[in-house]
Chain A
Amino acid sequence: METLSLYVDRDSPVHRVDPISKLLYILAATAIPIILPSLLTAAVVLAISVALLLLGRIFRRVIPLISVIVFVLLTILIIQGLFRAGNVTPLFQLGSLIFYREGLLYAVRISLRVINIMLAFAILILTTKPSDLFETLVRKGLSPRIGYVLSSVLQIIPQMQNTVGTITDAQRSRGMETEGSLAVRLRAFIPLIGPVVMSSLTQTRERSIALEVRGFSAKGKKSFLNEEIQEPYHRFIRWGLLLSIILALVWRVAA
């Protein structure tokens, strides 16, 4: 079954960590390099993230994600290196273009922050089943309605894509041109919209009826089939992460 989930099923210590700790890691990996804006801090967080990705045996899955933002980061490096206000110390020259130390350092700092945030999110998304994540959030007080929307969208969107495929096939079987130049594809897209929207609305209404008759609107307290796994080390990780953020704040204020 096709889903939009990026979860990679592995048996690793990182996979076994609870979703709340991983969410806290995202907070720490984002906040600490901002609170302590030295390159060393960003590099340490980066090293920890890479270590966690290797420990979770998912490092190779992250490479395509990083390659997506490489172009943006290169752009930041070039523009800041060349034109940042306050650029005074030339570092190297490419033809007539002079790259400055201040701008490049700033760009590296920004790039490391972006990569750190991305890797921290990757640790969460690649090592946590979406259903476990949303169930944990509902346990912690997220509205079950929002939890349902978030968890169902990952499965229902691929189903809608299948519906689009079926309708396209039906139209093609009646002689409509759906492949070829961009103009042909655009012409084929317009008659597709009506049936897709109508069938999606019908399916949504039917599904909401199915949810109603299964007590989705019940006002009582929900329970969960899956037990909440609370290992002692989960608490240790959470407190450790919170403490590291507090220590970074204290360091910043004291410095």
Chain B
Amino acid sequence: MKKIIVDNLKYRYPSAQELALKGISLEIEKGQFIGVIGPNGAGKSTLCQALVGLVPHFYHGAYGGSVVVDGLEVLKSEISALALKVGLVFQNPFTQVTGAKLTVYDEVAFGLENMGLDRAEMIERIDRALTLLDIYRYKDRNPFDLSGGQMQRLAIASIIAMKPQIIVLDEPTSQLDPQGSEEVFKAVDKLKSEGMTLVMVEHKIEKIAEYADKVALLSGGELVDFDRPIRVFSRPDLERYGVAAPVYTRICRDLKIKDEKTGLYPITLEGAVAAVGSLE
């Protein structure tokens, strides 16, 4: 079942001369984890914002093509209606805290209050989201007193509580230390095992190689490739697009060790270990 259909999406920001997205088309199935990679200015964040309706409703600008999210056409839907289908988590954990609530528990309730849910339903959803993201023990703390990783997990919990079917994560670990990043990736792993459809922009390529079902490689506003991670990371021209292959792939390439079954270079530690093991 297709959750997201992007068809020939073109977009230009109001003050820009050039298109930020130049005719992107892709389809995402329910429960898939899609990694989005590419150099700075490739259009990754713009694509994320197009999936949640911020492009064009928040930024305005010139828009062409279509994006359909779980049956809703983005251009014809309000952001608040789309928010029930697709949630967005972005880079800065600090600015995702509303600032209007004094506790983590109330912070998660913010979106649910806007949805007009009854109290019992809210409590059930908040408890579940905080438990899933492993921050229930901080429920009475002020959101601004959390660490970066905890605050980012709070941002994810606040989105999850709204029960969207899709979550878009735009570089959620770029401002976090290694421990905070690991906390977020563990949370993402949990969401994936829950069968949620995830789209994640991330520069930590090894993590994308580990988690993603498919990878979208963007460059200059165009979709260069949209395939299984092992296919994308095996491209000989990958570095031309400003993306380095995972470290395991580079080592195996230097050592000329390929996976026996696929004939491609491994992209994960497990894959590399298996490929080396098969040599013996």
* Residues of A that sit less than 8 Å from B by CB: 1, 3, 129, 131, 148, 151-152, 155-156, 159, 203, 206-207, 209-227
Q: Which of B23-31, B107-115, B190-198, B225-233 contacts its partner?
A: B107-115
Q: Flag whether B202 is at the interface (Cβ < 8 A).
A: no
| B100–A151 touching, CB < 8 Å | yes
Closest to B106 in A: A225
Closest to A1 in B: B142
Query: Closest CB-CB distance, A198 to chain B, in whole Å?
Result: 14
Query: Closest CB-CB distance, A137 to chain B, in whole Å?
Result: 13
User: Which size bracket describes the interface of B in this complex?
Assistant: 35 or more
| A203–B95 touching, CB < 8 Å | yes
Which of B99, B116, B117 contacts A152 (CB under 8 A)?
Answer: B99
Q: Flag whether B238 is at the interface (Cβ < 8 A).
A: no
Bound-state CA distance A207–B97 (Å) is: 7
Q: Which of B88, B101, B118, B144 has the most CB of A within 10 A?
A: B144
| A152–B83 touching, CB < 8 Å | no
Q: Which of A148, A214, A225, A226 has the most CB of B within 10 A?
A: A214
Q: Which of A1, A3, A210, A219 has the most CB of B within 10 A?
A: A210
| B122–A214 touching, CB < 8 Å | no
Q: Flag whether B189 is at the interface (Cβ < 8 A).
A: no
| A209–B116 touching, CB < 8 Å | no
Q: Which secondary structure characterizes the binding site on chain B?
A: helix
Which residues of B83-129 have CB atoms within 8 Å of chain A's CB atoms?
83-84, 87-88, 90, 92, 94-102, 105-106, 109-119, 122-123, 126
Query: Closest CB-CB distance, B167 to chain A, in whole Å?
Result: 10
Write out the residue numbers on chain B whose beta carbons fall within 8 Å of the beta carbon of A159: 94, 99, 144
| A215–B111 touching, CB < 8 Å | yes
| B100–A214 touching, CB < 8 Å | no
Known contacts A1-B142, A214-B83, A215-B84: does B99 contact A223 (CB below 8 Å)? Answer: no
Given contact pairs A209-B88, A214-B162, enumerate 12 new A-B contacts (beta carbons under 8 Å): A3-B102, A131-B100, A210-B96, A210-B97, A212-B54, A213-B79, A213-B159, A214-B98, A218-B116, A220-B116, A225-B109, A225-B126
| B58–A209 touching, CB < 8 Å | yes
Interface pairs (12), CB distance under 8 Å:
A151-B100, A151-B101, A155-B100, A207-B98, A212-B79, A213-B52, A213-B87, A213-B159, A218-B114, A219-B80, A223-B115, A225-B109
Q: Flag whether B158 is at the interface (Cβ < 8 A).
A: yes
Query: Closest CB-CB distance, B113 to chain A, in whole Å?
Result: 6
